[in-house]
Amino acid sequence: MAGFLSAHGYDPGPTQRPFLAGAISGIVATIPAIAILQAFGSLRVEAKILGISEFATLAAGWIIMALSGAVYARLFGRAANEKRGGWLFGMAFGFALWAGGGVLILPLVGGGNAPAGEAAIGLFLSLVAWGATLGALHPFIHRPLHERLETAARWLGPDVGAVKPRNDRRTPARS
């Protein structure tokens, strides 16, 4: 799969820092998501289901969203840098996170209890909004984090033209 994505040009490439940019975008995108959770009372319900405090739910949520942002950026690779379609990719990712986390994992962890009513609406909207914000923000957050062309170019000298021995996973030497 990694080879396929790389051949098709989705690989982020030597100047990009997708994990960092994705994590930062994930953290920033959590702000509107929390506002929605609060507005619908979903945060309180989630904390109740999980049996922890709202603060702990919030802290755990922020960490998960940062990690999810990093996963999103790496998964979508160069596509995540697209300004026009980023919102959609992010929203799709947010939807998947909701379907996996909010619909499946939360009831499993909560002993079969799931948010309902307005709390369920809030949980759904917050994750879709988180994804859309993540996707829309990511291209703008990522670009200033790129490594300079001049320094990154040093990694790609004439030795990349050589056939590597099997199992040689060393990166090309700086030349």
Measured CA to CA, the distance from residue 35 to residue 32 in angstroms comes to: 5
Is residue 115 within 8 A of residue 49, CB to CB? The reply is: yes
CB of 33 to another protein, least distance (A): 17
DSSP string, 48-69: HHHTS-HHHHHHHHHHHHHHHH
CB of 31 to another protein, least distance (A): 22
Is residue 77 within 8 A of residue 1, CB to CB? The reply is: no
Q: Which is nearer to another protein, 1 or 7 (CB)?
A: 7
CB of 12 to another protein, least distance (A): 8
Site residues (vs another protein, CB under 8 A): 3, 6-11, 13-16, 41, 45, 48-49, 78-79, 81-85, 88-89, 91-92, 99, 103, 107, 112-121, 124, 139, 146, 149-150, 152-158, 160-162
Q: Which is nearer to another protein, 74 or 78 (CB)?
A: 78
CB of 4 to another protein, least distance (A): 10
DSSP string, 67-112: HHHHHHHHHHGGGGG-TTTHHHHHHHHHHHHIIIIIIIIHHHHTTT
Measured CA to CA, the distance from residue 29 to residue 139 in angstroms comes to: 13
CB of 63 to another protein, least distance (A): 24
Query: Residue 96 to residues 24, 30, 123, 167: CA-CA distances in angstroms?
Result: 20, 16, 13, 36
Q: Which is nearer to another protein, 6 or 53 (CB)?
A: 6
Q: Which is nearer to another protein, 59 or 154 (CB)?
A: 154
Q: Which is nearer to another protein, 63 or 101 (CB)?
A: 101
